[in-house]
Structure 1
Amino acid sequence: MPGAASIPEIEALAEGADHVDVKTVACNKELGRFVADLLSYRPGWMRALFRLRGLLAGLLGLRRESGGQGERLSEVSFTPGAKATFFTVTAAEKGRYWIAEASDRHLAAYVAVSAGTGEAGESLRHVATIVRYRHWTGPVYFTIILPFHHLIVAAMARHAARG
């Protein structure tokens, strides 16, 4: 990720992935607080998109996750195996990075958040989405949601960077 020190755990996930996307925001928040704020952001327009996602999931025979709607996190755990909304922490190092996974039969999706420094010395937070398809429904599903995914992750990162 640009501006971030090499993190082998994130690089290993990204290598050979079917989709990798990184959103970067300037932010001085402690990493755990940033992740909690990132995952807690659920405005009305996003809840509506998650309801539509539920309809699509039903058509494709996938789990119908709520998107963690209404769940406000006061903190996130850095312990592998811990839950954060519908994600499970897979690897983390306080102050450096946090990785979690959500998977179903169609794909495995990872969110990897890391702390970095920009060229001018500003504090940055990088939010990577890494996707690996597991079934033919994976690319079908992800292609349909991809435009919304970009909007959602960017909005979540901007929200988490505030305050």
Structure 2
Amino acid sequence: MKVEKVNLPETSLLLKNEYDYSDSFISEFIDKEDTIDILVVTKAFFSTSPKWIEKLFLLRNKIVAIFGLKTGDSLEKRKETLNNFRGDIGDKVGIFKVFDKSENEIILGEDDMHLNFRVSLLLDSKPNSSKNLTISTIVNFNNWFGKLYFLPVKPFHKLIVPTMLKSTIRGSIAPNQ
């Protein structure tokens, strides 16, 4: 599965926001039955990450809790939350809250004392049962601690997002096979 780094999509709801950092990654896949929508993609995003990414997030949560930053839920609680998740504005999964939504895009993120971030899952249909999934991230630094925090996170982020994109697509397609 090919993943490309691209600019923020011109149609993204993210463009309503200002940001200090951004990145976007895109991949194409086939949805022959046309059953994959933004809710399917969002649930897959939260339920299909590789174990090494989950372990990194657990480590992150232990470290940032010392500084009073927000941490995510346990894996068991996340599974329970996803069973009832409808993707409505205000819904939460872990530290991710739904900030905005359209028919083919959902904006997730969180505001914390050091930085605010948003993640866009944008699903675009193309001819011949083909679809593009773009995962974009924007970050606003609220203070010097946000910049300092993001310094070691940034290289991991650039590895994690393309990996999450692949696992999200695999997780979205698998139920249909």
| TM over 0.5, shorter chain | yes
TM-score of the superposition, structure 2-length normalised?
0.75
Deviation larger for 28-37 or 74-83: 74-83
Partner amino acid, structure 1, of 2:86: S
Q: Relative to 1, partners in 2 of residues 1:86 and 1:49: Cα closer, same or farther, differing over 3 Å?
A: same
1:122/1:111 CA distance change after superposition, 3 Å: same
- Taking structure 1 as the reference length, what is the TM-score of the superposition? 0.81
Give the whole-Å Cα distance in 2 for the aligned partners of 1:136 and 1:119. Answer: 46
Match of 2:16 among 12, 16, 19: 12
**Residue 125 (structure 1) aligned with residue 133 (structure 2):** yes
> Residues 68 and 24 from structure 1, CA distance in 2 versus in 1: closer, same or farther, beyond 3 angstroms?
farther
Q: 1:6 corresponds to which letter in structure 2?
A: T
Counterpart Cα distance in 1 of 2:127 and 2:160: 27
Query: Percent identity over the alignment?
Result: 22
Quote the residue 2:69 is aligned against: 63
Q: 1:51 is matched with which residue?
A: 58
Distance 2:157 2:145 in 1: 17
Note the aligned Cα RMSD (angstroms): 2.7
Higher deviation after alignment, 66-75 or 81-90: 66-75
CA contact (8 A) 1:46 1:152 kept: yes
Question: Which of 68, 90, 94 does residue 85 from structure 1 map onto?
Answer: 94
Q: For 1:1-163, list aligned pairs within 5 A.
A: 6-7=11-12, 9-13=13-17, 16-27=18-29, 28=31, 29-58=36-65, 61-66=67-72, 69-70=75-76, 71-72=78-79, 73-74=82-83, 76-94=85-103, 96-117=104-125, 122-162=130-170, 163=174
* Residues 1:108 and 1:68: Cα distance change in structure 2 (over 3 Å): farther
User: Which structure 2 residue ranges, 5 or more long, are not aligned?
Assistant: 1-5
Question: What amino acid maps onto 2:25 in structure 1?
Answer: K
CA distance change for structure 1 residues 69 and 154 in 2, over 3 Å: closer, same or farther? Answer: farther
Structure 1, unpaired ranges of 5+: none
By percentage of residues, which structure has more helix? 2
What is the number of equivalent residue pairs in this alignment? Answer: 158
